[in-house]
Amino acid sequence: MEEVSFSNILITGGVGFIGANLALTLQELYPQSSILILDDFSSANFKNLKKFKGEVLACDVSTDEVFFKVEDIKLDVIFHLASITDTTVTDQELMMRKNVDGFKNILELAYDSEAVVVYASSASVYGNVKEHVPLREDREKSPENVYAFSKYIMDNIAEDFSRKTGVKTVGVRYFNVYGPGEAHKKKFASMIYQLYLQMKANKRPRLFKWGEQKRDFVYVKDAVEATIQAVKAPYSTVYNVGSGEARSFNEIVALLNKYLGKDLEPDYFDCPYDFYQEYTQADMTKIKEELGFVPKYNLEKGIEEYVNILEGKVDYPVKGIL
């Protein structure tokens, strides 16, 4: 990873899945930096940060409270991951207030500190893509639910804010992230983790018919590296963060069978969601050309390491993550 330096780092949502992995990685890479985490603990578990040496404060960043929490700190970079991540939430006012209003508060903090903002966007902004092609960042967006819409609006706000103020904002458009530290999310954890739990208990893995829906699954270590590299983007922009591969749920089951030493057949059932994405695949050209980022984990390598960690066969390289 190319060297970048920080003095004061703010991570919102830093007790959550990606945020905790990010916090502990930054702590290892930059032990002299001061790291402050703000989190409302709505989708978080303190156990993810048992090895964290910095400060953690309870805070809802969509309220004015956020300004008092950091009023005496000159921030260099803000990693903004705080948001409602439950894509099934239908309360539109709540989703927009938490995700969009919260983001606008963070941008105001960045303006005051002249800090770089790296924020979590989402591949859900692309919508239910019919053609099976890699998704470029500049393709037409078609959010299918209010979560995706909130991320779409955040991208628009970031672009406009950067143009008007000169503050650098960089969106990391996460595809399907999986890996250690997501157990607390329960039914909202990755399908890889949920299928692992089912198969570990010798239950047939449940898939929507017929398991050939494809996703771009990205291991959390790759997602974290891309997030950190985004700080050195040459201009305000948005980058896809995926593996660059579209893989089926049937393939996940096959790999879990292999690494768990089982032979369980899928239990297929009808999909109940009308906004379900049938296919995602990140076009990784832009982030590779501009930041030199190339994912280190394909699905085989990622699932093998993840299963070994879950089975207690190896320790997770970032200390303290479940």
- Residues tagged active-site: 147, 185
Alpha-carbon span 19 to 43, nearest angstrom? 11
Tally of residues, the chain: 322
The span from the CA of 203 to the CA of 195, in Å, is 9
CA distance 66 to 127: 32
Residue with tokens 């040496």: 53
Centre a 10 Å sphere on the Cβ of residue 202 and count the other Cβ atoms it contains. Answer: 9
Question: How many beta carbons lie within 10 A of that of residue 69, not counting itself?
Answer: 17
| d(C-alpha 234, C-alpha 227), whole Å | 14
Take residue 273 and report the two structure tokens written for it.
């969601």
Question: Token digits for 57?
Answer: 């404060």
